[in-house]
Structure 1
Amino acid sequence: MDDDAVFYQELPKVELHAHLNGSVSFQTIEKLISRKPHLNIEHSMTAIGKGQRRTLDECFEVFKVIHKLVDTEEDILMVATDVIREFAADGVKYLELRSTPREEKDTGLTKRSYVETVIKAIQQCKEEGVDIDVRFLVAIDRRNGTEVAMETVKLAEDFMLSSDGLVVGLDLSGDPTVGHGKYLIPALQKAKNSGLKLSLHLSEVPSQLEESDLLLNLPPDRIGHGTFLHPEVGGSQSVVDKVLKNNIPLELCLTSNVKGQTVPSYSKHHFKYWYQLGHPSVICTDDKGVFCTDLSQEYHLAASTFSLSHKATWKLSHQAIDCIFAPEAVKEQLRQKWNDLESRVLK
């Protein structure tokens, strides 16, 4: 490993946009495939390799394949513990995982047991002494409409109260070309009122400006992607102004956007737009398994594409602590951890 790669690996990192099923590594997929040979699933169906591009539709097809492999509590426990350990091995010190609770009639998996199993995995890794603080965001899949969104909020509220601070918020995600966010506002407002933090996927595709404008009135606590918010790519200044006025951090996933073809190239990524404004922007992976990346690589890409020094990259990683959904005391502990590591990593 060259010195540069070592720096990004050792850099303490915060990951705030990681979908559980999209983060499943090649090695874990191997184990899942061997458990379910009857499905005839091949690796090429679960990941998008180097140099490959996929349309957004094709990316969502990949998730459907992974869901077939992960349909029992046992699968979820293995997947979640593997994902947590891998993030920790990559120098991630604080992780917010997100996932839509699913039920599988055939295996007896319920939405409640789905969330319970993810929480169990987080607790298990903690007991093993894995050096990472993990929290969970319960996800609303936008295609499932108002009623299911309300049920999901109820579930998230229950776990926020019973999980000892592990469930901290709600994610709105799913295929951006399906459904309209206006139908989900009552559920999101209810979640916000109950104390859950909101991270919403906004403007992933160009046609979502009106929806983004509406959802920004909540306002959310963080924005996922926000690819088409700014005027240079067909967004609007008034939408940008709302983001700036409320100081809403963006979760930016470079490789995911390039491989999913919503951004033409790394150099054209909207990270540059927000970073130049000095707006809080957090580098994330989105789906490290599907897009064959990790957070060290994403930082390396951002730094080399936009000519960030090691010091500027360190600052970017340190500022991500301000954007986490865990309480202030946790932020303080993380800042202390960064301070302790600074002289060793930033040599």
Structure 2
Amino acid sequence: MATISGPASVALRSLNASDTTFLQSLPKAELHAHLNGSIPTRTLIDLAKRYPPPADLGIDIAGHIAKLESGVTLAEISDFFALFPAIYALTATPEALAEATSAVLDAFLTPQPAPPEFTYDPAPECTYIELRTTPRATAHMSREQYLRTVLSKIESFGDRAALIISIDRRMSENDVKECVDLAIKLRGQGQPVVGIDLCGDPLKGDVAMFEGHFKRARHAGLGLTIHIAETVQNTEAESGTLLSWNPDRLGHATFLTEDHKLQFFADVPQPDTEIPPSKMLLSDPEHPFHEHFLASHKMHLDRILRESTESEEARMQLSFHFDADKGARRAAIKEVESLMQPKVAEGRRKPCIEICLSSNLLCKTVPSLEDHHIRYYLANKHPVVICTDDTLPFRTTLLAEYALLLAKPPFGLGLSREEVTQIAEMGMKARFTKPTKSTRS
């Protein structure tokens, strides 16, 4: 049984039964879920009893589990990474890892009872999942055995599940090479390995070291997803390097600069304006407060008046000004509509942004839902996918993350059902492709 708390819980509670059923019925893809951060608490407790790690590890397993059960309070994103040594210790054997993987996949892909104090009917959290994990060599298994153990459980779900192999920023180059080699090898054997990810403490490592290995992965048909600009401390130079790899998807992308968006993103209109105060502005080119309409209307009206050959007497007539305004309005609407047409500029792309609302709020990388960068990307018609990141510490579900979209302010973004449906469709379209027979060695 999942646990939901925090902003996602408040948003989900605010919905009526019809809205909740609507969200459950949407085909949804979970594309940013870390295996070891999504293990249900009850599974961890069971693993601690049956596969207790050696006492000399010096890890307070019971204390960490109790903290996760009661709810984690994070002062900043760096506090998040201190939670994982205990989880890694519990999944250090093939048997424990297999059980943990099964529990995570079941939580996402099979109907689960509603958490306490919620009354909705059981339903799968998503239609499809790309589970991601960093292969770890332990005293009980190699990295390859780790991956094959996870894949054995993923394969049991057929086309509904796939694996992204995560590369930790703290790894040595030899370890990175081994992980990418394994990703290419397993994909070549027809295993459901669909991509690689750059993850880990965002302030560690030199990303330039990874470039050649990620290019090898792309050449082998693997999708690329990159954790990028997660903190204000991440440099513009680093983000520019990562974007130059042309990743297919971006994790979080919280603090990308305007310059980088203009340089690398094929958004129309280009993302160089503030977020419109109302979603009406996104779709109505004739709205008087549309950021392009007002300036365009004035420009065309001045032009019409300047170029008019009518007499002074005619220009004094109300009908003249009515016709001039009508012509300026028509020209302005045409101009705005042309800006709103999807175009892909040369050298710029639309990498899907993996949005993790609760994760960002609880790690305090965004101050509030109102200030969340998803509003910026939606305003600029940039593809996004809603994800959970780590359901264990953030105490959320994919249903609850979607509730943050649909719930009325101040509990959510107040999007319409149509808009939420479009976001879910974006996620399904952003899935990586599985290996076909022609790609197998």
Deviation at 1:47, TM superposition (A): 5.8
- Aligned equivalents of 2:172, 2:261: Cα separation in 1: 25
Residue of structure 2 in register with 1:227 after alignment:
254
Determine helix, strand or coil for the equivalent of 1:290: helix
Is the contact between residue 136 and residue 142 of structure 2 (CA under 8 Å) also seen in structure 1?
Answer: yes
Task: Give, in angstroms, the shift of residue 152 of structure 1.
Answer: 1.0
Once residues 155 and 134 of structure 1 are traced to their aligned partners in structure 2, the CA distance between those partners, rounded to angstroms, is 19
2:44 paired residue number: 29
Distance in 1, matches of 2:422 and 2:97, equals: 35
C-alpha distance in 2, partners of 1:48/1:14? 28
**Equivalent residue letter for 2:200:** G
The question of 1:64 aligning with 2:62 is answered: no
For the structure 1 residues 283 and 14, does the alpha-carbon distance in structure 2 shift closer, same or farther, using more than 3 Å as the test?
A: same
Displacement of 1:78 in angstroms is 0.7
| 1:145-200 deviation per Cα after TM superposition (whole angstroms, max 9, x unaligned) | 32221111101000111134x00110110000111211111111111122211101
Q: Does 1:112 align with 2:144?
A: yes
Residues 261, 218 of structure 1: CA spacing in aligned structure 2 closer, same or farther, 3 A cutoff? same
Cα separation, partners in 2 of 1:184 and 1:48, compared to 1, 3 Å: farther
* Structure 1 residue 266 corresponds to structure 2 residue 369: yes
Decide whether aligned partners of structure 1 residues 40 and 252 sit closer, same or farther in structure 2, where only a CA change above 3 A counts. closer
TM-score by length of 1: 0.85
Q: CA deviation at 1:253?
A: 0.2
* Root-mean-square deviation over aligned CA pairs: 2.0
The more displaced of 111-120 and 144-153 is: 144-153
Aligned to 1:237: 259
Deviation of the 1:33 alpha carbon: 2.4
Instruction: State the 1:53 CA deviation.
Output: 3.5
Q: Cα offset for 1:125?
A: 3.9
Deviations 1:7-52 (A, max 9, x none): 22332211000110001112212212222456542323346728x4
Distance 1:221-1:306 versus aligned 2 partners, 3 A rule? same
Q: Does the CA contact (< 8 Å) of 1:198 and 1:221 recur in 2?
A: yes
Distance 1:40 1:99 in 2: 21
Is residue 2:146 matched to residue 1:121? Answer: no
TM-score normalized with structure 2 length: 0.68
Q: Which has the higher contact order (CA 8 A, sep 6+)?
A: 2
- Paired residue for 1:205, among 219, 231, 237? 231
Q: What residue number does 1:103 align with?
A: 137
The secondary structure found in structure 2 opposite 1:103 is coil
Task: Read off the aligned partner of 1:325 and give its amino acid letter.
Answer: F
Computing the radius of gyration from Cα coordinates, the structure with the larger value is 2
Provide the rounded CA distance (Å) in 2 between the counterparts of 1:45 and 1:113. Answer: 30
Segments of structure 2 that go 5 or more residues without pairing to the other structure are: 1-15, 112-123, 267-347, 437-441
Aligned residue in 2 for 1:290: 393
What percentage of residue pairs aligned between the two structures are identical?
33
How far apart are 1:206 and its partner, in Å?
1.5
User: In the alignment, which residue of structure 2 is the partner of 1:45?
Assistant: 67
Q: What are structure 1's unaligned runs of at least 5 residues?
A: 127-131, 230-234, 330-347
The 3 A distance-change label for structure 1 pair 125 and 196 is: closer
In structure 1, distance between residues paired with 2:394 and 2:69: 6
